[in-house]
Amino acid sequence: MSEWNQLTVHQCRELLERGTCSSRQLVENLIEVIHALEPNLGAYLSVDEEQALRQADAADALRRQGKTARLLGIPIAVKDVINVAGQPCTCASRILEGYRSPYDATAIARLRAEGAVFLGRTNMDEFAMGSTTENSAFHITRNPWNRECVPGGSSGGSGAAVAADEAIAALGTDTGGSVRLPASFCGCVGLKPSYGRVSRYGLTAFASSLDQIGPMTKDVRDAAILLGIMAGHDSRDSTSVAAPVPDYQAALQRDLSGMKLGLPREYFIQGLDPDVEAGVQEAIRQCERLGARIVDVSLPMTPHAVAAYYIIASAEASANLARFDGVRYGLRVKDAVDPMDMYQRTRAMGFGPEVKRRIILGTYVLSSGYHDAYYLNAQKVRTLIRRDLEQAFQACDVLLTPVAPTAAYRIGEKSQNPLQMYLGDIFAVPASLAGMCALSVPCGFTSHRLPIGLQVIGPAFCEERILRAGYAYEQTTAWHRQKPPVMAPELHLTDKNDNEL
Amino acid sequence: MVLDSGRDAVKTIDVPYVAHLARLTLDDKEIRDFQGQLDQIVAYVKIIQQVDVSGVEPMAHAVQIRNVFRKDEERKGLDRDVVLANAPVHDGEQFLVPKIV
Amino acid sequence: MNYSATIGLEVHVQLATRTKMFCACNTDFGSPPNTHVCPVCLGYPGALPVINEEAVRLTVMTGLMLGSEINPFSKFDRKNYFYPDMPKNYQISQYDRPLCIGGAVAIEANGVAKTIPLTRIHLEEDVAKNMHVRNASSIDFNRAGHPLMEVVTEPELDSSEEAFAFLQALKQILLYGGISPCNLEEGNLRCDVNCSVRPAGQPALGVKTEIKNLNTFKGVFQSLQYEIKRQIAVLESGGTIVQETRRWETETGITESMRSKEAAHDYRYFPDPDLMPVVLSSEQIECWKALLPELPRQRCDRLVRQYSIPPYDARVLSADKAMADYFEEACRYYASSQATRSAHAVAPSAAAGDEKLAKTGPKAISNWLMTEMLRLLSEKGIDIDQAAIRPKALAELVRLAEAQVVNSNTAKDVFAALFEQGGDPELWVKQKGLVQVSDAGAIEAMVEKAMADHPGSVADFRAGKSAALQFLVGQVMRASKGKAHPQRVQELLKKKLTTTAN
């Protein structure tokens, strides 16, 4: 049997162009794998097989006519928080039950214009709030490397689907690490673009001043390809920046000579898992061998980043999620006696506990008497965090850090302690608050054979730098080519599998 | 940094009041659980109040752009059928909600 | 005891843009429900707002017209509250950095001129429209997102008359600037009023109440009259005023407390992360300044200068932009017809006579507008744009009257007819046979007949009863079906009555 599902985007393109396989074969192959793996994985919330096959056939027909495009016929999985015309967009929440999107997000429209096939919608923490994908209203997603472990979050479905070869590539979204964390936990590549690099139009907002759509892929080249297509100014998003989009693939080089890599000392601290630290230190040495110079830098505001992040993100979320009220779309409780009753019970029924907690936190930090002490202060601390990073980038080109203090942990391990969970975002949120770009690249395994992620943080609108560093490292290591064990034993691809998704 | 002394004296977040502002009905168990968790979270995020932010401008956006405008030119929106298809309750022309009193 | 009232107004003005504040949906009024909607104005997940530049321009123009300071740094904020007519359950508005700060509006009420200072002018989005249907409420989102400019006054209005005068003056300026169609029936202007009373002489302000969502000037006037009386009555009876929001009930003519179950509002304003600040350069502001229209006061002065009409006339005419436009257009037609006639004039003396007429022409036009036009407009309850008689026709009518082709009574009839039906006055006069009879022979015949028919009146006049002359003039006018030149008739009658007597 063929294993086209294991291909990367650039490999797919080659085979499709050569005629080795068709887009239909590719999509059928993936659907088969999805049927086989999903009962054990739960990476997807929905797969529109019919629609995907129709798109694949259309792509094949275009190719026969001699047409070509950068993603013609290549299937992409989409986190269920991004609007794709005609598809549901539940945000893994009951409150969007029955909603069908009447429009494409700008990022989707750009991928569509390049011929991408939209295979299905991946699982996530409800409204992207979480670090484990346990907060999905529908089901959990398991880590392909160890079914008892979480895949990370909030884009855990995308991370698991890519790592388990249920997708060629996927889109995630990152507000405070939601692309990088699952990429790190699942052993794939995840890129959070600089704020303003990719349009947010059509991305259901969690925290508008932080959200970015980012690619989750099997290698760095694929991340460069997808970013290159999605990036660029969009007149529908006032926060998107009109900076030219460089040729990101041209930035991919195999050496790091002349590059200065900064190690923020606040990131290598007590509480950092020794296996993770060892993996990252070894990656740093590898980079040195590739010609990079290592410099020590300091980001003194790091210990305040998580607090600032949770105040700002929750405040924005409390307003962004007010629109889910049962009036225009989605869930509404029956027999409400007046609008107040409708709001209160619909929202009580439609939102899960983590979303409620953050709405309450966000409402609180904006409320009269507390606004200045929490929200305004957090905004000022945010300024200081950005200054920290800007200063660090005077001394180095990119920063190398772990993505998270630990590798994937067991399902349920932290779900009862939200604060403990939030603290796991410590290395991810500074780049988010500062609007910088960051990449997660696989850099080894723990003693329990769970993937470790190396984070490369770059200045805003310097994605070429993080791609260059990530690519050079990746190409001289083999971590990204390792396949999770869940794939092999239970798979009987030749059997027609009638598992329900 | 001025705190409303009246409410701050309580030292904890008034969960039912804030939930009401956010239009969320909570059951007793939720109130209990959230009270404990949010007290802990609020106590933690208070650490930002220890940072010296005097003279520091608040940061509302991660990019410094100004004057992002569109021209006053019309573009077709959505068809009513499409819009009402998403509505929980409608009468074929308008959205319906419980009577506003 | 005497009381004084203190009133502040918040006027919400729908701006004259083609599209909504933050999306490209059409703003036409009266379209079928929910046909001008899109993901943005419906608050769909993922949709984002983008500022309509024209709305910013119109607001800044308003500020410039009213002498506001244009804020060098302005931004948009989210005002959080839940209501079914609010798509996002937050309204994008401006909290601490409005587009315009300060400014003033000059008013005149009860014969006293006064300047009402403004606090600010800011920009926000309108909400949807809800209606009650049987057991539910229905919502039409066409209006949701319409640009709404809010003009906030300082609490320096002292009476309902002043509030009324303020609204009229503001409306006048907004119309002059093309800022809003100011159509009250379509809800283009809506008003919240704050009002308090206190014993005359007491420096501290009384407790205020707010009356929300008044959509006629009359409503503002009447509700304030009621509210001021109510508050005084409460204080007189030893009660205290409760700070609250009240609703004006048009049918019963009273204000009623809107006691709501909701907790006190906590709008939790914060800067909208979806929108970037507005930082207008001084070049941009200067550029817009250059486009400022002439305002009522400036126009008044110019009308006096240019047309030599009395200041009173100029003030009345310039009060309404459409009226002043009408006047000036009529004057232009009048002047051009004068020019044509002068060019064809043979005798220099005739041209000199025309020049003299040219000075009186604008005054005649002004007279028509201030008397007949205003009377008929208010009778019919329409605006001058809707009157069928157009400026060109009025100019011609004035010319016909000056040339004594019609007498003044006939001219009034012609005006009334054209006001209804429109058309060319010269044609109308010809078709209806209304040309004035000035022919001496024809008049003389009619005069002689009248004297013959009414010897009693002739005798009365000669006996010293001068009133008899008017009777005889009337008889001649009647015989001529109103077309005889009244002065000539009178002159001839007088002559004949006296000469025959001698």
Instruction: Show residues of chain B in contact with A305, CB under 8 Å.
Output: none
Q: What is the pLDDT at residue C291? A: 87
Instruction: Show residues of chain C in contact with A366, CB under 8 Å.
Output: 80, 268-270
Q: How many distinct structural domains can be found in chain A?
A: 2
| Four-residue CA torsion sign, A447, A448, A454, A455 | negative
Give which of B62, C34, C26, C150 is closest to A237, Cα–Cα. B62
> pLDDT below 70 — which residues of chain C?
259-264, 339-359, 438, 500-502
Give which of A76, A66, A73, A71 is closest to A25, Cα–Cα. A73
Average pLDDT, chain A: 95
Question: Which tens digits make up the pLDDT trace of C419-470?
Answer: 998 888 888 888 877 777 767 777 888 888 888 888 888 888 888 888 888 8
pLDDT at A328 over 50: yes
Question: Which tens digits make up the pLDDT trace of A116-125?
Answer: 999 999 999 9
The whole-angstrom separation of Cα C304 and Cα C322 is 17
Instruction: Give B37-48 as a DSSP string.
Output: HHHHHHHHHGGG
R_g of chain C computed on alpha carbons:
30
Residue A495 lies in a domain: no
Residue A194 lies in a domain: yes
pLDDT at A494 over 60: no
- Tell me the β-bridge partners of C199: C3
**Could you tell me whether strands C100-101 and C112-125 are parallel, antiparallel, or unpaired per DSSP bridges?**
antiparallel
pLDDT at A165 over 70: yes
User: Which active-site residues of A does the annotation give?
Assistant: 79, 154, 178
**Are A354 and A287 in the same domain?**
no
Which chains are adjacent to chain A, needing at least 3 Cβ pairs under 8 Å? Answer: B, C
Q: What is the pLDDT at residue C485? A: 78
Which chains are adjacent to chain B, needing at least 3 Cβ pairs under 8 Å? Answer: A, C
Average pLDDT, chain B: 90
| Chain B residues interacting with chain C (CB cutoff of 8 angstroms) | 17, 20-21, 23, 60-61, 65-75, 77-78, 80, 83-84, 89, 91, 93-100
Distance from CA of C368 to the nearest CA of B (A): 40
Provide the 3-class DSSP secondary structure of residue A171: strand
Residue A498 lies in a domain: no
Distance from CA of C270 to the nearest CA of A (A): 8
Residue A493 lies in a domain: no
* Best to test chain B binding among C97, C129, C138 (most B CBs inside 10 Å): C138
Look at residues A337, A360, A380 and tell me which one is the last residue of a structural domain: A380
| Four-residue CA torsion sign, C494, C499, C501, C502 | positive
Element at C249 (helix H, strand E): strand C245-249
**Are A402 and A431 in the same domain?**
yes
Which value does ipTM take for this structure? 0.95
**Are A137 and A222 in the same domain?**
yes
Give which of A133, A219, A153 is closest to A440, Cα–Cα. A219
A484 touches chain C (CB under 8 A): no
Residue A466 belongs to domain spanning: 4-303+381-482
* C173 and C295 Cβ atoms separated by less than 8 Å: yes
Cα–Cα distances (Å) from C500 to A226, C447, C451, in that order, read 113, 13, 11
Size of interface B-C (CB pairs under 8 A): 116
Question: Which tens digits make up the pLDDT trace of A3-21?
Answer: 899 999 999 999 999 999 9
Looking at residue A300, the DSSP 8-state letter turns out to be: T
Q: Domain residue spans in chain C?
A: 3-276, 296-432, 440-501
Look at residues A380, A409, A433 and tell me which one is the last residue of a structural domain: A380
Look at residues A362, A380, A398 and tell me which one is the last residue of a structural domain: A380
Residue A353 lies in a domain: yes
B62–A195: do the CB atoms touch at under 8 Å? yes
Residue A328 lies in a domain: yes
Q: What is the dihedral of CA A3, A7, A11, A13, to 10 degrees?
A: 90
Q: Which two tokens stand for residue A454?
A: 């190396």
Alpha helices per DSSP H over C160-319: 160-176, 217-236, 282-290, 296-307, 311-318
Instruction: Show residues of chain A in contact with B30, CB under 8 Å.
Output: 353, 356
The rounded Cα C381 to chain-centroid distance in angstroms is 12
Instruction: Give A217-230 as a DSSP string.
Output: ESSHHHHHHHHHHH
CATH number at residue A226: 3.90.1300.10
Query: Which domains, and CATH codes, for chain B?
Result: 1-52 (1.10.20)
The whole-angstrom separation of Cα C325 and Cα C323 is 5
Residue A500 lies in a domain: no
Q: What is the pLDDT at residue C492? A: 84
Q: Considering chain A, what percentage of its residues have pLDDT values greater than 90?
A: 94
* Fold classified for C440-501: Arc Repressor Mutant, subunit A (1.10.10)
The rounded Cα C145 to chain-centroid distance in angstroms is 27
A239–C274: do the CB atoms touch at under 8 Å? yes
**Are A355 and A248 in the same domain?**
no
Residues with Cβ within 8 Å of residue C153, at least 6 apart in sequence: C8, C9, C10, C11, C105, C116, C117, C118, C119, C166
- Tell me the β-bridge partners of C148: C14, C124
* A189 and A441 Cβ atoms separated by less than 8 Å: yes
Residues with Cβ within 8 Å of residue A293, at least 6 apart in sequence: A259, A260, A261
Amino acid (one-letter) located at C356? K
Instruction: Give C37-91 as a DSSP string.
Output: --TTTTT-TT----EEHHHHHHHHHHHHHTTPEEPSSB--EEEE---TT-SSSEE
Q: What is the pLDDT at residue A496? A: 39
**Are A468 and A407 in the same domain?**
yes
Which chains are adjacent to chain C, needing at least 3 Cβ pairs under 8 Å? Answer: A, B
**Alpha carbons within 13 A on the beta-carbon side of B7:** 14
* Best to test chain A binding among B59, B61, B81 (most A CBs inside 10 Å): B59
Q: What is the pLDDT at residue A501? A: 39
Nearest CA in chain A to C23: A236
Question: Which tens digits make up the pLDDT trace of A172-215?
Answer: 999 999 999 999 999 999 999 999 999 999 999 999 999 999 99
pLDDT at A220 over 60: yes
C56–B23: do the CB atoms touch at under 8 Å? no
Residue A487 lies in a domain: no
Element at A183 (helix H, strand E): helix A180-186
Question: Which tens digits make up the pLDDT trace of A8-65?
Answer: 999 999 999 999 999 999 999 999 999 999 999 999 999 999 999 999 999 999 999 9
- Tell me the β-bridge partners of A399: A262, A457
Q: What is the pLDDT at residue C356? A: 42
Average pLDDT rounded to a whole number, residues B64-72: 97
Of B61, B72, B97, which is closest to C84 when you measure between CB atoms? B97
